[in-house]
Amino acid sequence: MTLEEWRWKYIESYPGKVYSAVALHETLGVVGHYGAVRLPLIYNGERAGGLAICDVMILPPFRGINTLKQMSCITPREAVRDGIIVGYGFPNRNTLLRPAVQLGIYEIVEDVMEAVKEVAFHTEMSRYQYKLFPMDYSDVRIDRLWNECNAELSLAVIRDRRYLNWRYKKHPFFRYELWGLRKRLGSKLQALVVLRREEGRTRIIDFVCPKSMLGVLFLKIENYSFSAGSSQLVLWFPEYLKNRMIGMGFSVRTSVTSVPRTTHEGTLAKSDIAGQFFYTMGDTDFF
């Protein structure tokens, strides 16, 4: 990580306190880091705080159960005192997650699902009724849309203008496209999506959308991707949306990533999170 990315993630996000822990050697300095970014959540209709765990790293000579356990215990303890209700992450199941689960630091909540679809061009009536248009991150309609949609979500990061601007517009390396959906004869924002186009495919990084508009939004995304030369759509989604994705023609499979929770007393239990947490590729720090 460059210093620019480090500051973007830990300082420019939601400053006030950095919930990271380090392991210090008396002569070598920092030999381990356990990072956590505080993010605003909506939980059962109320605002709350959550910690996205990321950038866990230990120099090889100091790797071991003791170092990891000591670092990981500091952050949740401090966070709970500040009213944070959950610590979560999106690690690869085959790397750090396994020893952390064995230590009892993490508990696996659920596996992340991946959806893939070969794009085609559609001529349904909604193609003419709705328009996908490029948006500015300062558009006040973003907040209005979020306020209308969040009642359908039990647990999610708050996707308002401030969050989208920090997470996507200000990202130091990746470039994203923000698109809005409206009726052709109206100005009200019906949905929004964040895309990242790569060679031959389009990643649906994030979206804010009422359940009733999901089919229209994805049809418009597919038509746009087809016109832009992409042959494939890819996204991550929570398992509770599996049947909806299949119904829209996506092939679904389990990704290599799982969602664990920190097991510190005072945070949400697995039963409070599983099947309730709305997340996308945008909830990770590597897309």
Would you list the DSSP string of 147-191?
HHHGGG-SEEE--SHHHHIIIIIT-SS---EEEEEEETT-----E
Number of folded domains in the chain? Answer: 2
Instruction: State how far the Cα of 59 lies from the Cα of 57, in Å rounded to an integer.
Output: 7
DSSP state of 137: T
What pLDDT, on the 0 to 100 scale, is given for residue 31?
96
178 and 230, same domain (yes or no):
yes
> Which residues, 6 or more positions from 116, have their beta carbon under 8 angstroms from its beta carbon?
232, 233, 234, 250, 251, 252, 253
Averaged pLDDT, groups of 10, the chain, 287 residues long: 91 86 94 94 96 92 87 81 92 78 90 97 90 98 97 97 97 96 96 96 98 97 96 97 97 95 92 97 92
The parent domain of residue 177 ranges over 115-253
Q: What is the pLDDT of residue 66?
A: 86
Query: Tell me, what CATH number does 233's domain have?
Result: 3.40.630.30
Residue 106 tokens, joined:
């993490």
Residues 92 and 143 in one domain: no
pTM for the whole structure:
0.95
Specify whether 240 is located in the same domain as 124.
Answer: yes
Of 241, 245, 146, 155, nearest to 192 (Cα)?
146
Helix (H, G, I), strand (E, B) or coil at 125: coil
Phi and psi for 27 in degrees, rounded to 5?
-115, -30
Q: What is the DSSP letter of 63?
A: -
Flag whether 247 is in a domain. yes
The 3-state DSSP composition of the chain as helix, strand, coil percent (nearest 5) reads: 30, 35, 30
Say if residue 70 is in the same domain as residue 122: no
What's the pLDDT at 96? 63
User: Is the domain of 242 the same as that of 121?
Assistant: yes
Do 169 and 233 lie in one domain? The reply is yes
Q: Which residues contact 170 (CB under 8 A, 6 or more apart)?
A: 8, 12
120 and 247 belong to one structural domain: yes
For residue 273, being part of any structural domain is answered with: no
Is residue 198 situated within a structural domain? yes
Whether residue 87 is found in the same domain as residue 202: no
Residues linked to residue 244 through DSSP beta bridges, in sequence order: none
Query: Is residue 271 assigned to a domain?
Result: no
Kindly state whether residue 44 falls inside one of the protein's structural domains. Answer: yes
Give pLDDT, residue 178: 98
Q: Which two tokens stand for residue 160?
A: 């308002």
> Are residues 73 and 195 located together in one domain of the fold?
no
Q: Do residues 26 and 120 both lie within one domain?
A: no
48 in a structural domain:
yes
